[in-house]
Each structure stands twice: as C-alpha cells, then as structure tokens.
Chains A and B, each alone.
Chain A
Amino acid sequence: MTCILETRSLNKEFGAVIAAKDLNVQINKGEVVGVIGSNGAGKTTFINMVTGYLKPTRGEILFNGKSIMGHSPRAITRAGMARSFQVAQLFPEMTVLDNLIVALAAAESARPSFLSPLRSDARIARAEEILKEFGVDNYRDSLVTAVPQGARKLVDIAMALIGNPQMLLLDEPTSGVSVDEKTDLMDTVMNAVRQHGVTVLFVEHDMDVVERYVSRVLAFYSGEIIADGEPAAVLADQQVRDLVTGHRPTTKQGNGAS
C-alpha cells in the first residue's frame, strides 16, 4: 500500500495553547479513516493545517510524497486534496446546480474564461449526474438557502468531489443533521466516495457512524493522537474510553455528542 498523506511531528501553538502536538500520521491510498475526539481536541486544526488554512508552527506535511508545507489551500486543492466543512460552505445566492457548475469549472481550469459561458451543456450534464449520485437532484434549481441542512451538507461534499480529488477530508459531515438522517447521509456519501475511489478522512462525533464506515480510527485528545488503529481496538482502548468516548457501553446508544 502506498502512503498518500503523511505528517511528521506536526505542531501548532496558538500563543500558550497547544492545538497540535507531534502529530505523526500516515494515511494509505484507499483507506477510510475516522477521526474522533471531544471538542477542542485538535481535529479541525489538523484538517485546517493539512489543507493549508492554518500554518503549522513546526513539522512537515507530505502529500503523495511531496511537501505541501506552506502551500495555499488552492494549491493543495489543485494537487488533489479536497475538503468539506463543518458548516457547509456554499454560494448562498446561487442555485444548487450553479454551485456545482462553479465547482466543476474551477476544477477544470485555474484561469476561468472571460467570455465563453460558464453554463455549458457538458457542465450542466456532469453537475446533474453528481446531484443524482448524491440524491439531491430534486433541489437542482433551488437557492441553497432554501435547501434543508442535510442536503446542504451533501451539496458541500459533492462540490469537493466533483473535481475528482485523490483524497477527501470531511469535517463533521453529519453535524447539524438530525439523528435519523445521519445514516442515510453517510450511506450516500460513502457510496459516492467508493465509486470515485477516493481516500477519505472524516471527523465524526458519533461512534456508531465511525464504526460503520471506517477501516481505521485516529483518536485525538488535547492536540495529541492517543490511539490509532482498527475501530474495534481503538474504541476498546482504556485511554480512549476515559478521555474521548466516555464509558460508553458497546451496545447502540444512537446519541451523537455534538
């Protein structure tokens, strides 16, 4: 297996607060990795560093074996690492279809054209295709502000996926979505992701969701990774149970701490 993303002793300090401490992570191509940890454990900081939004204080980040330290988010996106957001980041005054068309055009060229129309038939067809794949084609012509929360999250992820990234980072894909909808949403997302053959890392609070989809779990606590391995092993780990999941019985509880 080849390593797609690697971080070497990644550190981030905000003044006296240590948000990331010696993070050493290796993600292999094709893996689906879940990231767990309580609020403020450093999960989003990790994603923000890897995607270039935050500059690490120290350390090294390699994507496909090449350093991406200090690269801008757009350079990292173009290199093939896309992300979604805790709060869906969309273009609120555009329709769902237009959101995806913009994403598609952006993926096609870093220099958008000055005079040829953005909404070409080919782009519309491709956008419709991915909307169907995500099951949100019924919102095609709605403004995103008029679309329910769950569908917004799906559009957000679809925008990241339409550019055919090699790796996708999902920051709490199910946050803000009701408990009943979570499984449906994740099923849709994971099906789409598998079809595209993308490596996935996602942050999630709900342990049931994590167990259901991932092949590997990273547990964060106070800026450090305290456990890394197969879901069953990590979730059974005493330290993880003490610090992250709480003493949660292994039976279903269906309650997402968010």
Chain B
Amino acid sequence: MRLDKTEISLGLIALACVLFGFVSPGWLIFLLTIALAKALVVQGVVMQMRSGLVSFGQGLFYCIGGYTVGMGGQFFGIHDAIAALSLGMFVAIVVAMLLGLLLTRYREIFFAMLSLAFSMILFGILVKSQELGSTDGFNVHDWTLFGWAPEAGAGSQHTVFTMTVVSGLIVAVLIHRYTKAGIGVICEAVRENEVRVEYLGLSPRWLLYGNYVAAAAVSALGGGLTALATGHVDPEMAYWTTSGEFVFIALLGGLGHVAAPFIAAIVFSFVRTYAIEFVPHTWQMILGFTLLAVIIFLPKGLWSLVSREKTGERA
C-alpha cells in the first residue's frame, strides 16, 4: 500500500494527537473525542453532499451507531468495544441498504425531507420505548478492548480518545482514496450532471445507493464512539436538530479536503463550549449568523481559507 502526501500528513497528525493525549488535561481529551467522533458523522454528510444530496437525517445513523453499542452492552453481553462498534456499523449498513432503495429515488429538498422523516421515525420509536429509557435514554455498559478493561474515568476516556483518533485516521485515509476512486469522482459527476452520467452507461441511482450506504457506516462509527465516550445514549441523537448540527459542521468545513470536517468539528466544539458557558441564550444565534456568513462569504467552507493560494493559482 503506497501512501501519498496527504495520507502521510494525516498519519503524522494522528500520531501527534495520540501523543498529545498523554499530556493533555481530561476535559480537553473529552472535548476532542466528542469533536472527532462527530466529525466522523459529518464525513457521512459530506460524502453525500459531494454527490449533491443534503441529508437532514444523518442523526439516524449516528443514533443507530450509538444505540447499538449501548444495547449490545446492556442486553446482549457484547462488551468488547471493537465488536460493538462493528456491530453498530453493520446495523447501519443493513438499515441504509433498505432505506437507500427508496431514498435514492429522490433529490434536493425531497431527499432532505425524507431523510429527516426516517430519522424522526427512529426518534418516535425510541421516545416510546420504555425498556430503552424513553426520552432519558440509558447508560452504556462498561466495556473492554481485546479483553482488557480500562479503568473507569480517566483511563477509559483516554482509551476512547485513542480509539477515536485511530478510527478517524483509518476513515480519513479510506475517504481520501474513495473520493479519488471511481465511485467518489463519479458521485460528484452525478451532482454536476446526472443526465450525462446516465448517458455514459451508468446508473446514478446505484452510485448514490453505494455512497449512501458507505456514508451510513461512517456515521454509525461516529455514533458508536460518541456513546463509548459519553457513556450514555438518548433519543436526541436522532432528533432533526442533531442532524442539522451535522449539516452545519459540514458546510462550515466545506467539501475541499478530507481533513475539513475534523477541523470544523473541533472549531465548532470549542466555540460551543465557551458560548454555552458565557452567552447561553445567543449560542444558536451565533450559529445562525455564522452559517449565513459561510454561505455568503465562504461558499466552499473554512477549508477554502487554507487552500486559497492553490485555487488562486489555478484560476
């Protein structure tokens, strides 16, 4: 496997993150873990945006990932973190393969609304499930990693952080290759001109379907890691405002680079932490104005600030 420049940089940054984990304070570790886990969910949103679809229901797979990890530990005795995360991705893939059959017939606002509706269906079911703690959700069982049980609190937090960084690295490298591979590029082609793709002998629906399922798996991984990190899951994960937040982070980062969602998610988490503390009732307003500003001034997201020179050369 030959690594290109981007992949080597990603690897180095991930290594730096893991090392930083040994010296950084607990609160920062936790904040970064949540931010990176969310960034994985956002990667799923971005994958679909590349193909021209905006999912206002990616919380569905975030929630499926989280609840599968939680339920696996609570009810089915699956305590190994890797097994639980894999199971979450598997369930998400199965659900996406079913929903994708219907959803890939829709574009634009119809896709957005229908994906939102599916996410709200899960929310509706969870809210009415007494066994799953209804609106309160439930706590995630203590977990192990290859038979080793990290000590509760700081130890487990640190382990989740490392796992999240490693997962983030693997996903980033895979997505980096995916966007340059056949399906990745041709999904962008579908966004730009679906009729032409059809007349090249390809099925836009099949492409979007494959992309949708892959995005679901990535988002479920983010949900699972969030559940491990917070030790708790609740139906809010599937509520549409959660999905709205993912769309927000995706737009903030832009589609320019695989690293963009990670950076955007970290920026988002920091700003939110401080904003909620100091200006609790204007936090969403800040988000709203930021979103408008991004749409008007940085239509390609934060990443365009980083890559401005490069694109300038080309134009």
CA–CA, A116 and B2, complex, Å: 12
Q: Are A113 and B182 in contact (CB under 8 A)?
A: yes
Q: Are A92 and B192 in contact (CB under 8 A)?
A: yes
CA–CA, A81 and B184, complex, Å: 26
Q: Closest CB of chain B to A169's CB: distance in Å?
A: 10
CA–CA, A103 and B196, complex, Å: 9
Q: Is B26 an interface residue (CB 8 A)?
A: no
Instruction: Note all chain B residues with C-beta closer than 8 A to A90.
Output: 193, 196
Instruction: Note all chain B residues with C-beta closer than 8 A to A94.
Output: 188-189, 192
Instruction: Note all chain A residues with C-beta closer than 8 A to B210.
Output: 114
Find A89's partner among B174, B181, B182, B199 (CB 8 Å cutoff).
Answer: B199
Q: Which residue of A lies closest to B197 (CB)?
A: A106
Q: Is A98 an interface residue (CB 8 A)?
A: yes
Q: Is A110 an interface residue (CB 8 A)?
A: yes
Q: Are B199 and A51 in contact (CB under 8 A)?
A: yes
Instruction: Note all chain A residues with C-beta closer than 8 A to B214.
Output: 114
Q: Closest CB of chain A to B200's CB: distance in Å?
A: 4
Q: Which residue of B lies closest to A95 (CB)?
A: B314
Instruction: Note all chain B residues with C-beta closer than 8 A to A158.
Output: none
Instruction: Note all chain B residues with C-beta closer than 8 A to A106.
Output: 186, 197, 200-202
B183-209 residues with Cβ-Cβ distance < 8 A to A are 183-186, 188-189, 192-193, 195-203, 206-207
Find B201's partner among A78, A89, A101, A113 (CB 8 Å cutoff).
Answer: A78
The number of chain B residues touching the other chain, given as a range, is 20 to 34
Q: Are A102 and B201 in contact (CB under 8 A)?
A: no
CA–CA, A200 and B177, complex, Å: 39
Q: Is B90 an interface residue (CB 8 A)?
A: no
Q: Are B201 and A93 in contact (CB under 8 A)?
A: no
Q: Are A83 and B201 in contact (CB under 8 A)?
A: no
Q: Are B181 and A117 in contact (CB under 8 A)?
A: yes
Q: Closest CB of chain A to B106's CB: distance in Å?
A: 18
Q: Are A118 and B178 in contact (CB under 8 A)?
A: no
Q: Is B308 an interface residue (CB 8 A)?
A: no
B interface residue numbers (CB < 8 A to A): 174, 177-178, 180-186, 188-189, 192-193, 195-203, 206-207, 210, 214
29 contacts between A and B (CB under 8 A): A74-B199, A74-B203, A75-B201, A77-B201, A78-B201, A90-B196, A91-B192, A92-B193, A94-B192, A101-B185, A102-B186, A103-B200, A105-B182, A106-B186, A106-B197, A112-B181, A112-B182, A112-B183, A112-B185, A112-B186, A112-B202, A113-B181, A114-B210, A115-B174, A117-B180, A118-B181, A118-B182, A118-B184, A118-B185
